[in-house]
Structure 1
């Protein structure tokens, strides 16, 4: 009696459905789990054929299956882990795994079916199939997109290669033209400069103010053209990577004094370039030609953008940290909005007006200083002053 109670308790609390039928296929019992799965009350199905819980085609084939078993004596385990579908009271179906065993009970045989609901597993499988299909579709889309991108990149690469080749050819042509033009123009400009000097010399006895005025105009024009040619030639060499840095030890003070004397000759009326050196040492290890070009360029700008009767401060400094070249003027200054573009090639500040220039000088100075591992900085106040500072560390 105790065992029967225990067995009943186990059947009643089982998670899976348990159904018993007789040899005619009539339902004798269902545990609560089975009733929940099929949606029936016990009174609605007990005594009815098990086929009431089966959809077609299993419903029609069930009785024949039992008769065949009784006639042939097939194995006592009729089904183990077989997947079938169940028919609920509301007409819906669901998948489950069915294991059926024959049980000898007193003087007769009964059949016990163990029903394990597969609805959640099948839903999960279906979701996985949908996810897999979507993923496969997405992979196909991405693969096609990638193929299109690769094709586009290949075509773009070919176009870029052709463009680069053409640009290279144009660059070579431009380089040859700039070099040729610079050298070809230098000869007539030198002749004009020499002729102007001779005219000035021969006209001295006449002390003619108009002659002096026009000779100075010729000299200034030649100087401006020469500056433009030098800037273009320097830029072309920089772009072509043909500027080599030749470091050597030289006297910075001596070079600066020479540059001061040279630039004073082209200064405006009553413009004075004041040179001063700070530090006990005068020797540095830099490229003398490049640093001279930087000095001339910065002082030329100071002369151009400052008025007559002004001072231009030209300072050099050597200490333990390195050396500096400083050029300060009291000219028109640089508008704050223009300062960010100041070192771009061909850029000129909006307040330069008719003052001649190419907009290349500062770009060249900075690139020369970079080649010597230096820096170029500036500070400016509009209509008051501008200071440029070239710094080179650890030179001596």
Structure 2
């Protein structure tokens, strides 16, 4: 019943570089793309109509059946799993490490699961290699430290001014240790960044694929509402991916000091209308945005594009972390040479213990870990605001909501 339009299905199915397998409630494999077949060592179409058990280690088949039944009844999407114990079984009975993302869906009252599979054999080897290199590096530092200590002892005996020499050697030792620590932190940061990009892209792409497949099912004019629902899902996820890409580009430019601010005069109402228009795509059921009506004559001399980016980021967060049937209020006040913006929501709020770190790059509050996000948006906003001569602050209470306040000079002559 998936294959009402086989050409479109095959194009989308085979376009995914990761392995994709679709199974029914009986754990029978209905479809597998070429990446999945190659990953498990099977020929084309060889996996079709086979039991999923052939891809699972024998010792966990019974446990897997229990978890599968529980999962398909829960109807919850499971993101890519980082359990290092997950393994797949190739046709030649060899096992290999694997990551799995699961996405349940229904067609004509029948339940299915779309599994996104990633062979992480190479990653495991790379991690082992990095671990070995770090161990070797630590040994080198230990050896150098030992050598420095011996040198210091010799200097004490040979140099009347040995106290100054000891200080220099200790400083050199600390510098080496600090360099090693920074290198290790940078390595962890890069790994975290790559993992973050992988997660934040794969889940929306999986949703886009599922919605696109289901669009083929609704051909009748009376099913327009269902088609519109899936089209809106696709638009929302594409818009989300576009925002992530823009954030990553902003981080790179900020780090390289390559942001060229363009200060121009513009009407603030144009920026507000554009931000609200783009945010409407992401609104949940019953959500609405209230904006002030007295800003038509507000003229600013700032970077229009960056201001739009800043306000969009704050608005997207307010929508994302607020429930259905809630209101996001935008307040704007001119005060002398400055203008203030307040974005007010009644969402999940920020836990008190997390509030000191909310502008740190990649940091996410504890109550937001299960919501899609990269943790870089607010750090970008803060950097741009300060570069434009402004300030940003917030007040928040968990389960009650947040108020983010942005203050900028109306006329920016500093850049």
Give me the TM-score of the superposition, normalised by structure 2: 0.50
220, 227, 245: which one aligns with 1:229: 245
- The alpha-carbon distance between structure 1 residues 340 and 163, as it changes in their structure 2 partners (threshold 3 A), is closer
Q: Which residue of 2 aligns with 1:274?
A: 290
- The alpha-carbon distance between structure 1 residues 217 and 323, as it changes in their structure 2 partners (threshold 3 A), is same
- The alpha-carbon distance between structure 1 residues 306 and 154, as it changes in their structure 2 partners (threshold 3 A), is closer
Structure 1, residues 74-125: CA drift from partner, whole Å, max 9, x if none? xxxxxxxxxxxxxxxxxxxxxxxxxxxxxxxxxxxxxxxxxxxxxxxxxxxx
Does 1:146 pair with 2:164?
yes
Give 5+ residue unaligned stretches, structure 2: 1-155
Q: Decide whether the 8 Å contact of 2:268 with 2:296 is kept in 1.
A: no
Does 1:340 pair with 2:346?
no
378, 390, 393: which one aligns with 1:377: 393
Give 5+ residue unaligned stretches, structure 1: 1-137
- The alpha-carbon distance between structure 1 residues 221 and 374, as it changes in their structure 2 partners (threshold 3 A), is same
Q: State the shift of 1:231 in Å.
A: 1.8
User: Secondary structure of 1:243's match?
Assistant: coil
Cα distance in 2, alignment partners of residues 249 and 145 from structure 1: 62
Q: State the shift of 1:341 in Å.
A: 0.9
Q: Decide whether the 8 Å contact of 2:275 with 2:308 is kept in 1.
A: yes
- The alpha-carbon distance between structure 1 residues 140 and 298, as it changes in their structure 2 partners (threshold 3 A), is same
Cα distance in 2, alignment partners of residues 143 and 259 from structure 1: 67
Number of aligned residue pairs: 248
Q: Which residue of 2 aligns with 1:86?
A: none
Q: Decide whether the 8 Å contact of 1:280 with 1:318 is kept in 2.
A: no
User: Secondary structure of 1:317's match?
Assistant: strand
Q: Decide whether the 8 Å contact of 2:338 with 2:407 is kept in 1.
A: yes
Please tell me whether Structure 1 or Structure 2 has the larger radius of gyration of its CA atoms. 1
Cα distance in 1, alignment partners of residues 314 and 349 from structure 2: 14
1:247-326 matches, cutoff 5 A: 247-278=263-294, 281-326=297-342
Q: Decide whether the 8 Å contact of 1:253 with 1:316 is kept in 2.
A: no
Q: Decide whether the 8 Å contact of 2:267 with 2:297 is kept in 1.
A: no
User: Secondary structure of 1:332's match?
Assistant: coil
Give me the TM-score of the superposition, normalised by structure 1: 0.52
Q: Decide whether the 8 Å contact of 1:314 with 1:326 is kept in 2.
A: yes
- The alpha-carbon distance between structure 1 residues 211 and 261, as it changes in their structure 2 partners (threshold 3 A), is closer
Cα distance in 2, alignment partners of residues 164 and 352 from structure 1: 28
